[in-house]
């Protein structure tokens, strides 16, 4: 157990040592008390941003660590979102089974990922073709759901509703002393915060474990990894399923938060969003992905209020500039430079060969 926990630090993640973890703890404490000082709208809005981070972290695992550019995070997002909607509408409200609906929704997303991942990875599809297949998947689902507007498309009491999307989906709730506790507003914020902390730490442990090291080795050179005796496809499939299920978590939470899900969540513009969040911050590091995603989301929303059209131009330019000048993402670029800087200082202070962690795996 202690061994496992020690893996939160390791070669595959930036940010270790006392400074980093103190800052992280401080940030967490700030996040815990934050709702006391701001309006309900701001709390809800921050929770809404945080909902997307799971999907970004999942893509970081698949693309950044696993080297497979999945364009289809939204397919799993939608699969879980619609599953949550259908199950919660049918059983959630009366029997307090909304959390079971959430779990079943994740299972559905995971099964879809297993199917597609198996088909793709064992079919030896690589490179840009992974992007195309996953993009086709999400567009197929979007097209399919788009045409379910007719009354014949219902599952139990849930109408799929086509392009309009499903509405009036029950929010997450648990039995409470006086009836029910609904996870809306501040309660939803704390739920998402808790899930986020668990997911982030869990992923750090995962990528710094043997699994993560092998995954990075496969990304760097699949043939060599295979020659060393690793069943590379099993590792890739596992990463794909975990990352896609995290997209499913975003989808189910989004659906529960907005009590709404529509096929537009799976269409082309939506499908490209996770790639922007992850590429801009830095796909090869979980912390950079998380912080980068929150920053882009916040920036985008602030710009949209001023002008939607200019906001999109700005986002396009930001993406282009980032990928041109800091290919690994600007946060990773900053972190690398900061690390190099502190090490130079340490070397000057202690004239011994420093034990720089083997972060080379994260470089091109």
Partner 1 sequence: MLLATVATLATTAALAQDKPPIKVGFLEDQSGEIALLTLPKLRGAQLAVEEINKAGGIDGRQLELIAYDPQFDNAKFQEFTRRLIDSDEIDVLFAGATSASREAVRPIIDRTDIPYFYTNQYEGGVCDANMIGTGGLPEQQLSTLVPWMMEKYGKKVYTIAADYNFGQISAEWTRKLVEENGGEIVGEEMIPLGVSQFGQTIQNIQAAKPDWLMTLVVGNSQASFYEQAPAAGLKIPMGSSITIGLGFEHKRFKPPAMENMHVAMNWFEEVSSPDADAFKQRWRAKFPEETYINDMGQNAYAAVYLYKKLVEMAEGSTELADLRTQIATGQACIDAPEGQICIDPKSQHVSHRMWQVSVDAQHNVTVERSWDKVEPYWLGEVGCDLTQYDPKEQYTPSYLPEPQ
Partner 2 sequence: MLQTISYLYQVADVFAFLVLAAAGLAIIFGMMGIINMAHGEFIAVGAYVTTYSYQAGAPLVLGILLGSAAAGLFGIALERTVVRRFYHRPIDSLVATWGISLIMTQGALLLFGSGAPGVGTPFGSVAVAGGSFSIYRLVLLLIAVLVLAGLYLVFMKTRFGVHARATMQNAAMARSLGVPVDRVYAATFGLGAALAGLAGGLYAPTMTLSPMMGGSFVIEAFVTVVAGGADVLVGTPPAAIVLAVIKATATSFYGQVYGVMGLLVAVCIVVRVLPDGFTGWMTRRST
Give the residue carrying structure tokens 């029997």. Answer: 95
| Stretch binding partner 1 (CB under 8 A), from 34-42, 193-201, 207-215, 353-361 | 34-42
Task: Choose between 19 and 221: whose C-beta lies nearer to partner 2.
Answer: 221
**Residue of 62, 137, 193, 253 that binds partner 2 (CB under 8 A):** 137
- Please tell me whether residue 69 binds partner 2 under the rule CB under 8 A: yes
| Stretch binding partner 2 (CB under 8 A), from 2-10, 41-49, 82-90, 309-317 | 309-317
- Please tell me whether residue 304 binds partner 1 under the rule CB under 8 A: yes
- Please tell me whether residue 309 binds partner 1 under the rule CB under 8 A: yes
Task: Choose between 255 and 322: whose C-beta lies nearer to partner 1.
Answer: 255
**Residue of 22, 123, 168, 176 that binds partner 2 (CB under 8 A):** 123
- Please tell me whether residue 115 binds partner 2 under the rule CB under 8 A: no
- Please tell me whether residue 316 binds partner 2 under the rule CB under 8 A: yes
Contact 56, 290 (CB under 8 A): yes
Task: Choose between 205 and 280: whose C-beta lies nearer to partner 2.
Answer: 280
Give the residue carrying structure tokens 């006391």. Answer: 36
DSSP 264: G
Residues 6+ apart with CB under 8 A from 107: none
CA triple 284-45-279, angle to 5 deg: 20
DSSP 267: S
From partner 2, partner 1, none, interface partner of 163 (C-beta below 5 to 8 A by class): partner 1
CA atoms within 13 A on the CB side of 307: 4
DSSP 177-213: TTEEEE--HHHHHHHHHHHHHHHHHHHHHHHHSHHHH
> Both tokens of residue 123?
């079919």
Binding interface with partner 1 (CB under 8 A): 39-41, 44, 48, 143, 146-147, 149-151, 161-165, 167-168, 258-260, 262, 264-265, 269, 304-305, 307-309
């Amino acid at each position: 157990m202690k061994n496992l926990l020690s893996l939160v630090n390791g070669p595959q993640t930036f940010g270790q040592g006392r400074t980093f973890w103190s800052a992280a703890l401080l940030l967490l404490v700030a996040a815990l008390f934050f709702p006391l000082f701001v309006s309900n709208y701001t709390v809800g809005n921050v929770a809404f941003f945080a909902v997307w981070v799971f999907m970004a972290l999942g893509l970081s695992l698949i693309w950044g660590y696993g080297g497979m550019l999945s364009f289809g995070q939204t397919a799993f997002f939608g699969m879980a979102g619609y599953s949550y909607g259908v199950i919660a509408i049918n059983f959630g409200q009366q029997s307090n089974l909304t959390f079971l609906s959430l779990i079943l929704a994740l299972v559905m997303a995971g099964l879809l990922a297993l199917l597609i991942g198996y088909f793709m990875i064992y079919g030896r599809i690589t490179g840009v073709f992974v992007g195309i297949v996953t993009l086709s998947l999400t567009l197929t689902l979007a097209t399919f759901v788009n045409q379910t507007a007719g009354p014949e498309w219902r599952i139990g009491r849930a109408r799929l509703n086509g392009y309009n999307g499903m509405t009036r989906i029950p929010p997450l709730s648990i039995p409470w002393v006086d009836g029910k506790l609904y996870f809306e507003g501040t309660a939803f914020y704390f739920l998402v915060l808790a899930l986020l902390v668990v997911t982030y730490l869990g992923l750090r442990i995962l990528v710094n474990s043997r699994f993560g090291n092998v995954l990075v080795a496969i990304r760097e050179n699949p043939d060599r990894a295979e020659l060393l005796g690793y069943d590379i496809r099993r590792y890739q499939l596992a990463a794909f399923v975990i990352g896609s299920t995290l997209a499913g978590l975003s989808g189910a939470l989004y659906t529960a938060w907005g009590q709404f899900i529509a096929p537009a969540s799976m269409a082309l513009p939506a499908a490209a969003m996770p790639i922007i969040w992850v590429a801009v911050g830095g796909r090869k590091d979980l912390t950079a992905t998380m912080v980068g995603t929150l920053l882009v989301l916040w920036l985008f929303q602030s710009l949209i209020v001023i002008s939607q059209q200019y906001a999109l131009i700005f986002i396009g330019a930001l993406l282009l500039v980032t990928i041109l000048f800091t290919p690994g993402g600007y946060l990773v670029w900053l972190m690398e430079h900061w690390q190099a800087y502190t090490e130079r200082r340490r070397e000057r202070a202690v004239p011994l060969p420093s034990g720089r962690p083997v972060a080379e795996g994260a470089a091109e």
